[in-house]
Amino acid sequence: METFAKIYKRAAARKGGENAVELMLQPVKKRIQIAKVSDADALEEMTKCVFRSGFVWKIIEAKWPGFQTAFSDFDVMHCAMLADEDLEVLQGNAEIVRHGKKIASVRANAQYILDIRADYGNFNQFLQQWPDEDFVGLWEHLKKNGSRLGGQTGRYFLRFIGYDTPLLSRDVVAALIQAGVVDKEPTSKKALLQSQDAFNTWQQESGRSFKEISRVLALSTD
């Protein structure tokens, strides 16, 4: 497996030097304090990521005030208690995207957050107690216990609320293959764990966040 130093060097050669790479890393260096993320914030971001998946992001953003009204500013208890009849009404609401299964995921994810709340007090405490080096396990937890939070949707959710996680974009996957970590897109549990081990090794080597490492990998590929 390649060292992070070698991958960084390749990224710098492609992008015009180390200063150029560091400028490109500035956006991902900004940190959000997870401790300040409320359960309503978590449900709202889950919902945004679910509705963005396979859809034009700008349309979701433009309609977002309608979503906030329709789901009572994502009050978790309110959303968890939505009846089937309420979901049917929401499917006729022109102020949001009328996708029945995604609308139903709001209720399911509110119930998921309530389950987490029962054990940890709130969702941000759950995230703060999860081992940093086991982000693949957290991805799996979201997929198994949440609704429509598998794959990149769950990873984007974590990234957008401030949790330090890589994104397995096409460029990052290409870099993982080039570095000798995997031989194809990591979808199996074994391949995902191999990728996680690589990220953990590179973090120990570089002292950088997983977000920064993920970005450098993407910058290193042709």
Is residue 201's pLDDT more than 90? yes
Domains of the chain: 4-31+166-219 (no CATH), 35-160 (1.10.340.30)
% residues pLDDT > 70 (the chain): 100
Chain-wide mean pLDDT for the chain?
95
Average pLDDT over residues 76-95: 97
For the chain, the C-alpha Rg in angstroms (whole number) is: 19
Q: What is the rounded CA–CA span in Å between residue 213 and residue 25?
A: 9
Q: In this structure, what are the phi and psi dihedrals at residue 180, rounded to the nearest 5 degrees?
A: 85, 20
Note the pTM of the prediction, 2 decimals.
Answer: 0.94
Is residue 35's pLDDT more than 90? no
Q: What is the rounded CA–CA span in Å between residue 159 and residue 214?
A: 12
Asked if 25 and 212 count as a contact pair (C-beta separation under 8 A), the reply is: yes
Q: What is the rounded CA–CA span in Å between residue 50 and residue 65?
A: 16
Residue range 176-187, pLDDT digits in tens: 999 999 999 999
Is residue 33's pLDDT more than 90? no
